[in-house]
Chain A
Amino acid sequence: MSMRVLVGVKRVIDYAVKVRVKPDKMGVVTDGVKHSMNPFDEIAVEEAIRLKEKKIVKEVVAVSCGPTQSQETIRTALAMGCDRGIHVEITGKEYENLQPFHVSKILAKIAKEEDVDMVILGKQAIDGDNNQTGQMTAAVLDWPQATFASEVKKNNGDLTVTREVDGGLETINVKLPAVITTDLRLNEPRYATLPNIMKAKKKPIAKKTVADYDVDISPRQEVLSVEDPPVREAGSKIIGNTV
């Protein structure tokens, strides 16, 4: 059986960057800041490519919702081995107010339109740390979900997924089609090779807008203020006999 997989790749502020709050306290500084693919999404891409290399999957489509620069993130996914990309361009205020609720609806539409058997997403993005998009996408599609995956195995028509849960590891079977979100130990993403970086240039990226998917992305939340974490205060020494 040859399946088709959709992977979500979000462009986020690079994890090595020290994040700064904007002077107006309405968000964080993103201009001139190094961005890269959300690390959990890299794991999602890697897992999809491995399934393709095992011939379980025939096509991997990478999707990103965001500003023009999100195409660079898609290009990275293509260099790692995805077959083609979909860029849903969302900019400015609309992007600032974009929430997992909206993204999940867009992803669900694309999953249907592309007739995929599996959606693989990072368990969360390291910018908002929401951990919602995968679950919501499964709900919108009314598909089974296997979140925080640390192992994914194809089992006849189903998937056997090991999940990292609070108490340890949980193994579940899900029927396809399904939504999977990746945890850290699922795999170690590869480097894109130089020849694949060059080939990625020629792979197609479809440019879309929210209107193409007929999704309402009007904000459901309002950001009142973004604050730096409080500076840790100096501790005090306890003098006396302690054991």
Chain B
Amino acid sequence: MAKRLYFASNHYVRRLCKFGKRFMSTTSCIEPSSGLTEEQRHIQEMATSFAKNELAPNMSTWDQEEYFPKETMMTAGSLGFGAIYCKDDYGGTGLSRLDASVIFEALSQGCVSTTAYISIHNMCAWMIDTFANDTLREHWIPKLATMETLASYCLTEPESGSDAASLSTYAKRQGDMYILNGTKSFISGGGETDVYVLMCRTGEKGPKGITCLLIDKDSPGLSFGQKERKMGWNSQPTRQVIMEDCEVPVSNRIGEEGQGFAIAMNGLNGGRINIASCSLGGAHACIELARDQLLSRKQFGQELANFQFLQYRLAEMATRLVASRLMVRNAARALQDKSPDAVALCSMAKLYATEECSQICNQALQMFGGYGYLKDYPVQQYLRDLRVHEILEGTNEIMRMLISRDLLKH
């Protein structure tokens, strides 16, 4: 009896911790804590354990049921994940861009889609924290930090995607109010989040006529389109945000009139690091899954791990993951230090990491053969969730444009 209880309790420890099967015996060359400070490793450890306990067990259900896990995000908020790189005077966590990248990479191992939304929420919080006045900051940052209040970023329009500066949502000033008309599309969290950080036109054509406004969900004249049906990113709703004579107080303006495009692009530099970090976490998870598969699956009378083609393929995947991670972390440092090449470095990191990591997931899926294509196996979801990272926060074509512009400037 004593012995049974003893084993039962050990079993419970493992179940309680919800860790899957035992895998690595030693840390390997793809270990993401490599090169981090002790404090960053602590942060990473906590985020990884949150990902494994709270996100990973639900990732497939949230995907298939298209469930937006607000309670889990509030738990994440209570740990400081809601306003990671906001200043700490109004409840932000006060960490660096690199710390944030480390966190998003760790969290996305458990669920890329949910983490990607959390990263967008963080980007919005940072834009408010950095460019809004103290009244707005004091009102919004504490609630955004705990994730009791969720935020969405609204730049894209049906007719204005990569050519963002051509946006046409118009805000007409009427006394203390702006009256908005227009439609924003592909809005992450749209319809279920509480506040919208939105770019609209208040002046001339082009980037200089754009202003950033903060729009409360309950504003008169604000409505939402139907929920889009997507290939991945299913744990967060995507809708159009529609403004029909929508009234927004002038006091909700972030920054000055005409400053909106600069604010939007500033937010996106960090957003690109964040999204690239989410790709890193997904690819890391896929490499671990593929490694376990190679060590356990037998064909032709031996483990797949004995086949040189697969050994080399796995080695290439690991190499590209580590190369991507170095680029992302380097860009995060550059952005933190306001280095003049930060925009190009963020673009390079996003371009390289999101494409390489999608390919890593795809190759991991191939190692699973037919099983990889089944929804019972997580690799296909990582692949579906990662694919969109090559499109949003500026398409990878726009990333190439920004990089070449930096190289060819006179």
Contacts and interface: CB of A to CB of B under 8 A. Distances in A.
Contacts of B45: 36, 76
Interface string B80-121: 110010001000011100000000000000000000000000
Contacts of A239: none
A81 B251 CA distance: 40
A163 B43 CA distance: 34
Contact of B24 (A18, A36, A75, A195): A18
Contact of A191 (B16, B25, B41, B79): B79
Interface size classification for chain A: 35 or more
A32 interface: yes
B10 interface: yes
Interface size classification for chain B: 35 or more
B42 A34 contact: no
Contact of A193 (B13, B24, B80): B80
B79 A79 contact: no
A188 interface: yes
Contacts of B38: 72, 75
A114 B78 CA distance: 33
Interface of A: 15-20, 29, 31-34, 36, 39-40, 72, 75-76, 79, 126, 129, 164, 166, 183-185, 188, 191-195, 197-198, 200-201
Given A126-B10, A188-B16, A191-B46, A197 B39 contact: yes
A230 B45 CA distance: 33
A194 B16 contact: no
A185 to B, nearest CB: 8
A166 B23 contact: no
B135 interface: no
B23 A197 contact: no
Contacts of B14: 15
6 contacts: A15-B13, A16-B20, A18-B22, A20-B25, A29-B25, A192-B42
Interface of B: 1-2, 5, 9-10, 12-14, 16-17, 19-20, 22-27, 38-39, 41-43, 45-46, 49-50, 78-81, 84, 88, 93-95
B95 A194 contact: yes
Contacts of B94: 198
A193 B26 contact: no
Contacts of A76: 42, 45
A223 to B, nearest CB: 20
Contacts of B50: 191
A18 B25 contact: yes
Given A166-B1, A191-B50, A193-B78, A18 B23 contact: yes
A34 B27 contact: yes
Given A17-B25, A34-B27, A39-B17, 12 more contacts: A15-B17, A19-B25, A31-B26, A36-B45, A39-B16, A40-B13, A164-B5, A183-B9, A191-B46, A192-B46, A193-B79, A197-B43
Contacts, number: 86
Nearest to A197: B42
A194 B81 contact: yes
B9 to A, nearest CB: 5
Given A16-B19, A17-B24, A33-B27, A195 B80 contact: yes
A220 to B, nearest CB: 24
Contacts of B17: 15-16, 39
B24 A194 contact: no
Contacts of A29: 25-26
Contacts of A33: 25-27
A16 B13 contact: no
Nearest to B103: A194
Contacts of A72: 38, 41-42
A194 B41 CA distance: 12
A188 B53 CA distance: 12
Contacts of B39: 197-198, 201
A32 B27 contact: yes
The listed residue with most A CB atoms (<10 A of its CB), out of B2, B12, B26, is B26
A201 B79 CA distance: 17
A166 B1 CA distance: 6
B24 A34 contact: yes
Contact of B26 (A32, A39, A75): A32
A19 B20 CA distance: 15
Nearest to A40: B13
B392 to A, nearest CB: 26
A20 B22 CA distance: 12
A75 B45 CA distance: 12
A75 B38 CA distance: 10
A18 B26 CA distance: 8
Contacts of B13: 15, 39-40, 126, 184
B12 A184 contact: yes
Nearest to A33: B26
A197 B80 CA distance: 10
A75 B10 contact: no
B67 to A, nearest CB: 22
The listed residue with most A CB atoms (<10 A of its CB), out of B1, B80, B94, is B80
Contacts of A183: 9
Nearest to B99: A194
